[in-house]
């Protein structure tokens, strides 16, 4: 049987994933419906425990209350000190993808395996200071690597462009190993920064404030990011 060919970066589906952090928390059900109508590919819940990051956000019950409102997949970005203790609750709440920070667990390989045991897709996230090599030995367990382009904990921060070489390095490690794995970026993604991230090799783009501050609206913001990233991945005429 012929070995399945790993899609090249340009062939991986481009996904726009909103962060719910800038949304109106007093009516989250309506907010996720509006995001689904805007054509997003998945919704990211930024789960913060006030310890791993200096902020506190969504418990599993909040997410579970929004689950019946939309069919768009949910991912939980676990910015928590003890992901193993909480993972099952976020799967029960309806998250099909769990993102574990490499810096948050002593046994990253075990934590990613645990996510898969729970029936979720597993992903690993890297803080800006953490080198790409930190995930070299767990790529076979991951369907995605998240390269943070801000220091986690808050929305509305500036994009750290010096993360682009790391995005490219992670993408190269995935290709070299023949892994079926996406590269996600998160933090400061906007029309001004999305091309740099896509050119570097990211195919999943998380955006928060850039979507909610668009004067035309969410749908326009999502389409604009998708079009800019897609154009960046197209081979230039006469190239
Ligand atoms: C930060 C979060 C991000 C953030 C993105 O810790 O992980 O998802 O909400 O927001 P913007 O796009 O405003 O940087």
140 or 2, which is more confident?
A: 140
* Rounded distance between C-alpha atoms, residue 54 and residue 117, angstroms: 30
Calculate how far, in angstroms, residue 20's C-alpha sits from the geometric centre of ligand 1. 9
> What Å distances lie between residue 226 and 56, 132, 190, 191, 220, CA to CA?
30, 26, 11, 9, 10
Q: Is residue 2 over pLDDT 70?
A: no
Ligand 1 center to 127 CA (angstroms): 12
Residue-wise pLDDT for 86-95, tens only, equals 999 999 999 9
Measure the CA–CA gap between 23 and 9, rounded to whole angstroms.
Answer: 31
Q: In sequence order, what are the residues at sequence separation of 6 or more whose Cβ sits closer than 8 angstroms to the Cβ of residue 75?
A: 17, 42, 43, 44, 45, 95, 96, 97, 98, 99, 123
pLDDT in tens, 20-76: 999 999 999 999 999 999 999 999 999 999 999 999 999 999 999 999 999 999 999
Q: What percent of the chain has pLDDT over 70?
A: 93
Look at the block and give the residue holding tokens 């808050």: 154
Q: For ligand 1, is residue 186 a contact (CB within 6 Å)?
A: yes
Is 75 near ligand 1, meaning CB less than 6 Å away? Answer: no
What pLDDT score does 8 carry?
60
Question: What are the backbone dihedrals phi and psi of residue 137, each rounded to the nearest 5 degrees, phi first?
Answer: -100, 10
What is the value of pTM for the model shown? 0.95
> Nearest CA to 93 among 125, 123, 68, 129?
68
Over residues 98-121, the pLDDT tens digits come to 999 999 999 999 999 999 999 999
């Amino acid at each position: 049987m012929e070995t399945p060919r790993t899609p090249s970066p340009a062939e991986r589906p481009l996904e726009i994933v909103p962060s719910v952090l800038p949304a109106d928390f007093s009516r989250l059900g309506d907010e996720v419906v509006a995001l689904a109508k805007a054509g997003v590919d998945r919704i990211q819940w930024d789960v913060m425990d006030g310890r791993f990051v200096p902020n506190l956000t969504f418990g599993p019950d909040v997410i579970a209350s929004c689950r019946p409102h939309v069919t768009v997949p949910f991912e939980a970005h676990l910015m928590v000190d003890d992901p193993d203790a909480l993972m099952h609750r976020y799967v029960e709440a309806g998250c099909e993808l769990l993102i574990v920070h490499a810096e948050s667990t002593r046994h990253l390989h075990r934590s990613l395996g645990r996510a898969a045991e729970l029936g979720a897709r597993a992903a690993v996230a890297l803080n800006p200071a953490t080198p790409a090599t930190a995930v070299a030995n767990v790529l076979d367990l991951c369907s995605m690597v998240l390269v943070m382009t801000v220091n986690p904990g808050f929305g509305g921060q500036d994009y750290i462009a010096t993360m682009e070489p790391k995005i490219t390095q992670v993408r190269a490690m995935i290709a070299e190993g023949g892994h079926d794995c996406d590269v996600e970026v998160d933090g400061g993604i906007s029309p001004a920064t999305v091309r740099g991230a896509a050119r570097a090799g990211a195919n999943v783009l998380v955006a928060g404030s850039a979507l909610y501050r668009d004067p035309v609206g969410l749908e326009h913001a999502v389409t604009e990011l998708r079009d800019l990233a897609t154009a960046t991945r197209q081979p230039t005429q006469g190239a």
